[in-house]
Each structure stands twice: as C-alpha cells, then as structure tokens.
Amino acid sequence: MALPNIYTDKGTVELIARINQLSPISQRRWGKMNVSQMLAHCCVPYEQLLGERNDGPNAMLKIIMRLFFKGTMTNEIPYKPNLPTAPSFIIVDQRDFEKEKQRLIQYVRKPLELGEAYFENKYQITLGKLNANEWNNMLWKHLDHHLRQFGV
C-alpha cells in the first residue's frame, strides 16, 4: 500500500485538514509533548530539509541511523507510539499553538510548491541522500504519527 502523496494537492489538503482538527486543548494519547510542542516538533524535519537547521546527530550516530534505521524511517509501515526522539527534535519550552499550527501548515505546503523533482536525491541531515519516495514516506509517516498521537 502506497502512502498518500505529499507532492499532490490531495495529499497536502489531507494533512492540512487533519492539522486543522487540532485545538489548544487537544490531548495526547502517548508521549510527553503537549499539542503546541508537537506542532513545533513536526516543523523540525522541514526546517532541516530547507537548511534552516543543521543540528543533526554526530557522525557515528549518522552511520548507525543510515545502516540500521533508514529503511524503517522511509518505508510505508507506520511508526509505533513512544519511539525515542532525537535530541534536535525535542521541544521542551512552551509554544504558541496558533503560531506553530500556521508554521507547520506552511511547511506542509512546501513539497507541493517545490515539486517531487526537488526531493529526488535530496540530502537528509541524518539519513543521507533520499529519493523522492523516501522523502514522501518519511515526512508523511512522521506527521501522521503525531497527528494520530493527538487523535486526528
């Protein structure tokens, strides 16, 4: 089963509709983040993708991640609850819900705006070069995981 396509209107609209179902009082089903922190957390892969952040793991951890976890992170199998979080993805401070929601929606629109070709063999800070399908799966799965975390 192929995951929804983040490079299409349909895939983008679906994610944004789910984000719009969240509210400042949405409660998590697992994990430690509140909904505003989760929204900020979900912006991190896009910030890294667009070169706005370069705080990836050290060289040894990159090797381990590429060898043992790249397939898991880019395949079509959903992430399980309560997986460990990379340090650069941990959000501990309080965030403004509306600001983070709007920021995430703008990032979710980026793959549609940039187009699938932009993502072909695009470098990912932890996993190295990914093809457009791997990017699609990784970005979709991560956001889907956290939207499910908050019941949407």
pLDDT of res. 62: 86
pLDDT of res. 65: 86
pLDDT of res. 110: 98
pLDDT greater than 90 at residue 75: yes
pLDDT of res. 150: 98
Distances (CA, A) of 140 to 12, 25, 144: 10, 24, 6
pLDDT of res. 64: 86
pLDDT greater than 60 at residue 143: yes
Average pLDDT, the chain: 95
Percent share of the chain, pLDDT over 70:
99
Measured between alpha carbons, how far is 48 from 46 in angstroms, rounded to an integer? 5
For 46, phi and psi rounded to 5 degrees? -70, -40
Measured between alpha carbons, how far is 80 from 131 in angstroms, rounded to an integer? 23
Percent share of the chain, pLDDT over 90:
85
pLDDT greater than 60 at residue 1: no
Structure tokens at 113: 């705006």
Beta bridge partners of 124: 128
Domain boundaries, the chain: 9-22+31-149
Q: Is the dihedral of CA 110, 139, 105, 17 positive or negative?
A: positive
